[in-house]
Structure 1
Amino acid sequence: MPTNTKPGWVLALTSIASLMVLLDAMVVTTALTTIRLDLGATIEQLEWTVNAYTLTFAVLLATAAALGDRYGRRRLFTIGLTVFTVASAACALSPGIGALIAARAVQGVGSAMVMPHAMALLAAAYPPERRARALGVFSSVSGLATLGGPVAGGAIAQGGSWQWIFWLNVPIGAVLIALVRVRIPESTGPGHRLDVGGLALAAAGALGLVWGLIKGNDAGWTSPEVLGSLTAGVAALAAFVAWELRVERPMLPMRLFARRGFAAGNASGFLLYTAIFGSAFLMAQFFQVTEHTGPLGAGVRMMPWTATLFLIAPVAGALINRVGERPLLTAGLAGQAIGFGSLALLATPGRPYPQLILPLVIAGCGVSLAMPAAQNATIGAVPRESIGTASGTFNTLRQLGGVFGVAILAAVFTAQGGYGSPEAFAAGFRPALGVAALLSIAGAAAGGWIPGRPVSSEAAAPPVPRPVGADARTAVR
């Protein structure tokens, strides 16, 4: 049994664990050029180096959340950290690009068990009036991984080798596993039968669409392989929706999407991360190819985008209860659109870097406002018993957004440019950033449907799960 159940420990441990697993979603971006040269990878294989992780992460989140409700959230959280840590060592030991992609997929399995339970355990530890501020801190730390990953990856890849990106997870993971067992109480939720059919259809749909998007430029968008893959993906997702509407215990209850805050928060969050992941995938390579910087130099040049998140997201979390999620989310995504749109116009070979700083700062401020608002809108819109499902849904769509973002923007890049020269890379990078700006605008429009007042009702707040074998009031004290 835990010897200390203070909320501060839960916040610290769940934030660090989330930082670690989310960092690996983007930490390879500044090392992609090094990996491409070291392992002889193509751009398609580089995409799978990122997407193998995020795809397994995304499609298994809901199932992992359901397993945690049944067998214990802390237990699944700990197992996930173990799987992630072992898979990180396998990534570092990979002899070729195929082995690296496979190990990245296993890393995603571990991450899927960590993230939904991190948010559920955190929500359980804080009362409603303190939860938004805690989520703001959580967002600033975990969100820093999304944008700060390129900086860390660049420093590690240039200071040593790209393998150390993964070796560093091993001691951190071991310490976290030990502390979680003694500092976080066990809790469960309503135990439901696993929705195996829903899991299979969701995985098939996502894989079909991503496969078609990645193969489109090479095989041809009208080729039987691409058209068949895209059609199968759409059909599988349609079947998934139909299945979820009919099955007795769905992994994703469609009734929740009747709630405006839940539907709009998830839609805007999906588009937010689509733009972020796709842009980060290309931006780190842009600085290395067009300005001939090393991995660390590319990461440093992205810091105006990164640092704003750490500074502004906690403030945004504190403002949610005062002004509501809608203005923060719409303003944030609009700012991201302005930043990315400006970069699409300015990012040319030979352009002085200082001219790119302001657009990077504007995009970073936008992300910082939008991240905690999207999370809080989604979680705060559901009844108490649905917190696990809401957390799993938000994280699933966040990771799927990342998968589609990399696939979509890489497809635009490949259609318009390539690695042949700085001019060729910029020719593909600029329209890809323009697409990221359009995705951000769509996310702002979706955020406009969130109810205008902040969610402050106790009835709408996430539940405080009852710890196993202990009084609930003691566990959250």
Structure 2
Amino acid sequence: MSTTATAWSTRLRWVVLVACSAVALVIASMAALYTALPEIASETGATQAQLTWVVDGYTLALACLVLPAGALGDRFGRRLILVVGLVVFAVSSAVPLFMGGPMWLIGARTAGGVGAALVMPSTLSILTSSLPRERRNVAIGIWAGTVGVGAVLGILGSGVLMEFWSWASISVAMAISGVVLAVAGCTIPESLDAARPAFDPWGAVSGAAAVGLVVVAALEAPQRGWTDPVVLAAAIAGVAAGVAFALIELRAEHPLLDVRLFALRGFGTGTASVAIQFLVSFGLFMLIVQFFQLILGYRPLMSALAMAPMIAPMVILSVIAPWLAERYGLRLPTAAGLATVGVALLLLSRLSTDSTFTDILWPLLIMSVGLGLSAAPATAAIVDGAPEGKDGVAAAVNDAAREVGAAIGIALSGSILAAGYSERIDEVLPMVPEQIRGPVSGSLAGALEVTEHIGPQAKPLAEVAEGAFMHGLHNACLLLGSAVLVLAVVLGLWAPGRRVNGPVEAAPADDAHEPDRTALGTGSRTAP
């Protein structure tokens, strides 16, 4: 191999490393504070509602802004937006180290979500615009695998830090990582849409409102109930904003997102598949972390380590799956992957208070196989379905689908778990002393804390509460698993099969947006 070829290969590997490290950081940050919430509450005095927004403020900002952030990257430069996003992320992560109080923490996490929104679409669009087509799908597979395991890495990393230091160490780690990656980001090639169309402000506002309102409705539903006026109003307003966004984009000369893309079978299937994957993943993570800690009695670090085996199958299959999609079409990995996830959820619905780690390990491994099969092909279908030069917007659609799916998954799982717990615990609540009914009826964690203080005589009540929790977990896994199996069939029928004579479909063309292709890219202009 020549020196030039070797240098080129090294440069490509560096681009992939930086992009995947950056997206791993912002995804890990979504789940990093799960294990730290009890300590945050005790040190800052945060209420349960405030703790919810410590986590959700980040997700909400990320979901709202990821689409306009992708368009900004196409127009002004993806490397520039990536570096700016990492700087914002690093600074906001450091704020809790100097400013106390739950409101400062919520504000800092929300600002971190803004930085993450700039980072996420930039990482994928940098890969798709900087790599030759023959290497792009492998890079997308690595990226998708990294995103898939990002939340597990966040839980694992925070568990390790919490084992030795306070929750503030998580902020330190995220701030330092953000600075290091911002410096590294300055060394990769710049790329942008050569046409540099005018930014679509009305599309950006209506799109952010649609996503934001839907996410708020999903996040508030577990606490308020799905029929609460605030939840219903947010959901209806979100749908109305979504309709307005579609009408604006259909009329815009340079739309933020051509909504006709969703009619393309590959693009539409990929978007739906990505949303389902994150809906299931984050919904299950919320359930399983509680199962490990409340039923099996694991410490935060052990809970994180118990989920670590999911990483290997997901990463390995994410690299192989794009090849399967190229050979057999999007239909096979989508249907097979989602069906595998559905089977894993049904197996998890059979857990009991007597289950061991082995009982839960095999369903988790099966689920990681399903996610590994379906993740990368879905992302590749979204990227391939977008017009040339719109890599940032394609990446943003991919990321927005993930964030909305994650928010709905957390809300749906939480609501089903709470409803199942209440259904069973309400049967014995009249026999519980009035002074402890509140904690017992609220959650298994509250019930176990109360019964531990009472002593051995409260063991029957603890067992009833554990059984009520498992009833809610059964219902959540059973409903999610059944729904995913149905969706696997629907998307399998809708997804395009194997391409025989060239592409089955093409994205809507716009000759004015045809990019200037140069040495590094296959769809956008790049610069050193």
Any idea what the Cα deviations from partners look like across 1:172-216, whole Å, max 9, x if unmatched? 222222222123234344323332223322333333333334444
CA separation of 1:254/1:471 partners in 2, compared to 1, >3 Å: closer, same or farther?
Answer: closer
Conserved in 2, the CA contact under 8 Å of 1:271 and 1:439?
Answer: no
Tell me the SS of whatever aligns to 1:287: helix
CA separation of 1:411/1:96 partners in 2, compared to 1, >3 Å: closer, same or farther?
Answer: farther
Looking at structure 2, the residues matched to 345 and 208 of structure 1 have their Cα atoms a distance apart, in angstroms, of 35
Structure (1 or 2) with the larger CA radius of gyration: 2
Q: How does 1:104-123 map to 2 (within 5 A)?
A: 104-123=109-128
The one-letter code sitting in structure 2 at the alignment partner of 1:405 is G
Question: Of 117, 127, 130, which residue of structure 1 is paired with 2:132?
Answer: 127
Question: Of 318, 336, 347, which residue of structure 2 is paired with 1:342?
Answer: 347
1:441 aligns with 2:485: yes
Deviation at 1:433, TM superposition (A): 2.5
Question: Of 379, 382, 391, which residue of structure 2 is paired with 1:378?
Answer: 382
Aligned to 1:249: 254
Aligned to 1:296: 301
Looking at structure 2, the residues matched to 395 and 440 of structure 1 have their Cα atoms a distance apart, in angstroms, of 20
Moved more, 236-245 or 40-49: 40-49
Looking at structure 2, the residues matched to 93 and 455 of structure 1 have their Cα atoms a distance apart, in angstroms, of 60
Looking at structure 2, the residues matched to 38 and 456 of structure 1 have their Cα atoms a distance apart, in angstroms, of 63
Aligned to 1:363: 367
1:31 aligns with 2:76: no
Tell me the SS of whatever aligns to 1:183: coil
Looking at structure 1, the residues matched to 21 and 160 of structure 2 have their Cα atoms a distance apart, in angstroms, of 20
Conserved in 1, the CA contact under 8 Å of 2:74 and 2:393?
Answer: no
The one-letter code sitting in structure 2 at the alignment partner of 1:415 is A
Deviation at 1:132, TM superposition (A): 1.0
Conserved in 2, the CA contact under 8 Å of 1:30 and 1:285?
Answer: no
CA separation of 1:423/1:102 partners in 2, compared to 1, >3 Å: closer, same or farther?
Answer: farther
Aligned to 1:432: 476
Aligned to 1:451: 496
CA separation of 1:54/1:38 partners in 2, compared to 1, >3 Å: closer, same or farther?
Answer: same
Tell me the SS of whatever aligns to 2:192: coil
The one-letter code sitting in structure 1 at the alignment partner of 2:340 is G
Aligned to 1:200: 205
Aligned Cα root-mean-square deviation (Å): 3.0
Tell me the SS of whatever aligns to 1:302: helix
CA separation of 1:54/1:128 partners in 2, compared to 1, >3 Å: closer, same or farther?
Answer: same
Looking at structure 1, the residues matched to 79 and 170 of structure 2 have their Cα atoms a distance apart, in angstroms, of 26
The one-letter code sitting in structure 2 at the alignment partner of 1:249 is H
Aligned to 1:170: 175
Looking at structure 2, the residues matched to 223 and 11 of structure 1 have their Cα atoms a distance apart, in angstroms, of 45
The one-letter code sitting in structure 2 at the alignment partner of 1:90 is V
Conserved in 1, the CA contact under 8 Å of 2:221 and 2:411?
Answer: no
Moved more, 147-156 or 13-22: 147-156
Looking at structure 1, the residues matched to 49 and 499 of structure 2 have their Cα atoms a distance apart, in angstroms, of 43
1:100 aligns with 2:144: no
Tell me the SS of whatever aligns to 2:190: coil
Conserved in 1, the CA contact under 8 Å of 2:79 and 2:188?
Answer: no
Deviation at 1:443, TM superposition (A): 4.3
Looking at structure 1, the residues matched to 193 and 390 of structure 2 have their Cα atoms a distance apart, in angstroms, of 12
Looking at structure 2, the residues matched to 134 and 212 of structure 1 have their Cα atoms a distance apart, in angstroms, of 35
Any idea what the Cα deviations from partners look like across 1:309-352, whole Å, max 9, x if unmatched? 13322222343322333211211111111111211221x32322
Aligned to 2:434: none
Moved more, 329-338 or 84-93: 84-93
Question: Of 265, 277, 281, which residue of structure 2 is paired with 1:260?
Answer: 265
CA separation of 1:281/1:32 partners in 2, compared to 1, >3 Å: closer, same or farther?
Answer: farther
Question: Of 140, 143, 147, which residue of structure 1 is paired with 2:148?
Answer: 143
Tell me the SS of whatever aligns to 1:182: coil
Tell me the SS of whatever aligns to 2:150: helix
Looking at structure 2, the residues matched to 54 and 394 of structure 1 have their Cα atoms a distance apart, in angstroms, of 15
State the identity %: 32
CA separation of 1:17/1:233 partners in 2, compared to 1, >3 Å: closer, same or farther?
Answer: same
Aligned to 1:406: 410
Any idea what the Cα deviations from partners look like across 1:34-82, whole Å, max 9, x if unmatched? 4455545555444433322122112211211221222111111110111
Q: How does 1:411-422 map to 2 (within 5 A)?
A: 411-417=415-421, 418=443, 419=445, 420-421=447-448, 422=466
TM-score (norm 2): 0.81
Conserved in 1, the CA contact under 8 Å of 2:130 and 2:191?
Answer: no
Looking at structure 2, the residues matched to 322 and 438 of structure 1 have their Cα atoms a distance apart, in angstroms, of 29
Conserved in 2, the CA contact under 8 Å of 1:288 and 1:298?
Answer: yes
The runs of 5 or more residues in structure 1 that have no matched partner are none
1:322 aligns with 2:327: yes
Aligned to 2:437: none
Looking at structure 2, the residues matched to 384 and 374 of structure 1 have their Cα atoms a distance apart, in angstroms, of 18
Tell me the SS of whatever aligns to 1:345: coil
Looking at structure 2, the residues matched to 167 and 90 of structure 1 have their Cα atoms a distance apart, in angstroms, of 10
1:271 aligns with 2:276: yes
TM-score (norm 1): 0.89
Conserved in 2, the CA contact under 8 Å of 1:272 and 1:439?
Answer: no
Looking at structure 2, the residues matched to 386 and 345 of structure 1 have their Cα atoms a distance apart, in angstroms, of 45
Looking at structure 2, the residues matched to 456 and 42 of structure 1 have their Cα atoms a distance apart, in angstroms, of 60
Looking at structure 1, the residues matched to 117 and 500 of structure 2 have their Cα atoms a distance apart, in angstroms, of 27
CA separation of 1:337/1:155 partners in 2, compared to 1, >3 Å: closer, same or farther?
Answer: same
Conserved in 2, the CA contact under 8 Å of 1:188 and 1:467?
Answer: no
